[in-house]
Amino acid sequence: MSRKKFLLYIFIIASSFSFSQTYEDVLRYNSFSHEGTSRFNSMGGAFGALGGDVSAISINPASSSVFLDSEIAISLNYKNQKINNILNSSKSKSKNDLFSFGGLGAVLVYENKKSKLSVGYNLNILGDFNSSFRLSGNNNNGIDSYFLYYADGIPSEDLLIYEDETTQSVYKYLGNNYGFADQQAFLGYQSYVINQAGEDSNNYISNSSYNNLNQNLEVTRIGNHLKHSVNLGTSFNKNLFAGVNINYHETNFEETKTFQENGYEDDSKVERVLLKENLLALGNGISIQIGTIVKIKQLRLGISYTSPTELKIEEENSQYIESDIREKDGLITYIIDPNTINIYDDYKLTLPSKSLFSLAYIFGKKGLISFDYEVTKFNNSKFDDNNSKDSYLNSLNYSIKNKFAGLSESIRLGGEYRIKNLNLRGGYFSYKGPDSNIDNKINGISAGLGINFGYTDFDFGITKSNNYNQNRMFTRGLTNNYSIEDDTYSFYASFSIKL
């Protein structure tokens, strides 16, 4: 069947040869911080041994059985981000103002003289992907490296556009029959960033000449990792509480990345390149949580365990490239716009289990202090590699096992002091992230206050956090790292009512 005839049967492009999974995916979905109500956040999230707050359900299911009355709560957030980027010693700064829905939770309490039963629901934000930044710097590695990596070994006749074909039809054909690599080679070849190496149709050379390029990268990300917890709790007496959660995980990640470079040598055929990519990734999965809280006079002990989470993720992307090429007739701009959405096969990613140990002390009606210690083995993350039969994913799992943290420890500390119907709060949190190659941490302090009107509460909180991580410019070829240091002030407002 000819390429032209085959195209008559293509309506969408769905590729199983894409290798769309990357090391960065595992870093992204391994969310390792917690957000919740204003009270929860202003005490650093240290609620594992306390309960009595709808957000506490997400870290210890026994929390719902501590409630004395049925309750519903809703929260709103505002975040002010300041992002510092470094690319090859060049620094860039960006700012964002973000408003969002902060969460929702409810607990229904059923109690008689012999027993107590609680049913709860909580929407918890495990990961907030919303951010945008621009960075620029000088580099001796160019976008041609990206295209040369993928083009190696691909016959040049596959990258041509014949008389009865279009850019879109060839791009679709390559994606359906050969996958992502051939599409990248096609973009680089048709934009004249790379060219065939003489008579050898399977090898390529760069049309660029450079020593020190000017590179700019603009990234916009939206989305989050949500955990919906359906809870059942009970108390065996006034001193022992237990609970279980069935958690539904929902991930939504959208990224628009625009890369541009110039600053080539005078003898370079390439003067400028712009590559734009859009990525959409949707995922869902299930995890189970069990937990208990023990009261010993004023002392509270809490333990909870969260099972591994298997996410099923589907992705799609689109691409666009421009290039300014020097030719005999002068500078010509080539625009290669396939106007195509690539839809990839679903893949499965297992996120590791978590164990939480908590301790709290209650100072009568005056206040309390609480401490949480959480342990995660991030190197237990794993792509489904079909029992090691998929060589690409097997190699990716090997990298995860060796580069991710084997034992990641996080702590949360919080306190509350009560003055009649006014509650003053403070906290500290430190989350160790999955990337063991860098100091991948989220550290912060928090404060807040709450006003109790009997059956209603108004709570306000603020946190200051610092998050450091690294990304690669591209996953292949042009793989230079750039750092992201995110300093964020977050403001929270919650309203709760007893039913």
Tens-digit pLDDT profile for residues 214-230: 999 999 999 999 999 99
200-206/481-498 β-pairing: unpaired
* Predicted local distance difference test score (pLDDT) of residue 32: 78
User: With 0-12 CB in 10 A as exposed, 13-18 as middle and 19+ as buried, what is 356?
Assistant: buried
The average pLDDT across 466-480 equals: 92
Structure confidence at residue 231 as a pLDDT band (50, 70, 90): very high
Per-residue pLDDT of 97-132, as tens digits, reads: 999 888 899 999 998 877 889 999 999 999 899 999
Nearest to 467 by CA among 487, 437, 490: 487
For residue 493, the model assigns a pLDDT of: 97
Q: Residues 171-185: pLDDT tens digits?
A: 999 999 999 999 999
Closest CA relative to residue 84, chosen from 382, 485, 490, 481:
485
> What number is the average pLDDT over the span 435-455?
91
Q: Within 10 A of 99 (CB to CB), how many other CB atoms are there? A: 10
Is the distance from CB of 72 to CB of 497 less than 8 angstroms? Answer: yes
**In this structure, what token pair is assigned to residue 51?**
């309960």
Please indicate, yes or no, whether the overall pTM of this predicted structure exceeds 0.85: yes
Residues 87 and 473: their CA atoms lie apart, in Å, by 9
Task: Using alpha carbons, list the distances in angstroms from residue 494 to 39, 123, 195, 425.
Answer: 8, 14, 59, 14
Within 13 Å, how many C-alpha atoms sit on residue 342's CB side?
Answer: 32
Average pLDDT of 386-401? 89
Spatial CA neighbour of 415 closest among 390, 453, 455, 446: 446
CATH superfamily of domain region 3-498: Outer membrane protein transport protein (OMPP1/FadL/TodX) (2.40.160.60)
pLDDT recorded at residue 113 = 75
pLDDT, residue 12, reads 47
Distance CA 139, CA 149 (A): 18
pLDDT band at residue 19 using 50, 70 and 90 as cut-offs: low
Tell me which amino acid residue 362 is.
I
Average of pLDDT values for 297-321?
96
pLDDT tens for each residue of 32-89: 788 999 999 999 999 999 999 999 999 999 999 999 999 999 999 999 999 999 999 9
pLDDT digits (tens, 9 = 90+) for 139-192: 999 999 999 999 999 999 999 999 999 999 999 999 999 999 999 999 999 999
